[in-house]
Structure 1
Amino acid sequence: MTAVPSAVLTTAGLIGGYATARATGNRPLGGVVLAAFGAAAFESWRRRSGLGTAIALTGVYVGAFGLAHPLAGKVGSWPAVLGVTAATAAVAVAVGDRGGE
């Protein structure tokens, strides 16, 4: 069985978390989506590339979430979310999915 690429998990977490919060008006529910996919991505990175890489990439993921907020004030919410998501996915592919699973 082929593992889901971590870029798919981070994309689902960042876009899905924002879309859930926006559609429901429930920010904590969006946070649950963000956290669930982040946890799945962490485990994927840990298995493929080791604990240190998983911790570093989780920092990138959480940092992207944090960066989207001030960026949204400058470029709009969706462009900010899509921009940080694309950057996070690129890092996930380049660093996190290189191990041997």
Structure 2
Amino acid sequence: MKDAHEVQTAPVVALGLIGGYLTARETRIRALGGVVLGLAGVYAGRTWLAKRGPLTTTGLSAAYLLGFGLSHPLAKKIGAWPSVLTVTAAVAGAAALASDHAD
């Protein structure tokens, strides 16, 4: 596994949110999408903790989970893909600013 200090988490966040949605949609197994979402979240969280500490990890983890949760009601207003992409851009952007490019 790559050293946590060498990982850029914005792409990991994007993989988790977009990949989780796509996996659930294509397989019709929501739990499998949740596995993708969860694994990416744990990998990103490990990196956030090593790079930025528990406070940043808590904030970014909350943003990741909140983004996932908010994508569902947002999808009813703007559609599934636009919702997933909007939430992903917001959370990946936060990860980039708070962890990947914070130094």
- TM category, shorter: over 0.9
1:12-56 residue CA offsets vs partner (Å, 9 max, x unmatched): 000000000000000000000000000000001001100111011
Query: Which of 12, 16, 20 is the matching residue for 1:13?
Result: 16
CA apart distance, 1:3: 2.0
- Change beyond 3 A, Cα 1:48–1:91: same
Match of 1:25 in 2: 28
The structural deviation recorded for 1:99 is 5.4
CA deviation after TM superposition for structure 1 residue 66, in Å: 0.4
> Which residue pairs with 1:50 in the alignment?
53
Equivalent AA in structure 2 for residue 82 of structure 1:
L
Amino acid across the alignment from 2:74: L
Following the alignment from structure 1 to structure 2, what is the Cα–Cα distance between the partners of residues 73 and 48?
36
- Unpaired runs of 5+ in structure 1? none
- Where does structure 2 lack aligned partners over 5 or more consecutive residues? none
CA distance in 2, matches of 1:9, 1:29: 17
Distance 1:51 1:85 in 2: 22
Of 51, 61, 65, 2:64 maps to: 61
Instruction: Between 2-11 and 59-68, report the one with greater CA deviation.
Output: 2-11
CA RMSD of aligned residues (A): 1.5
Aligned to 1:74: 77
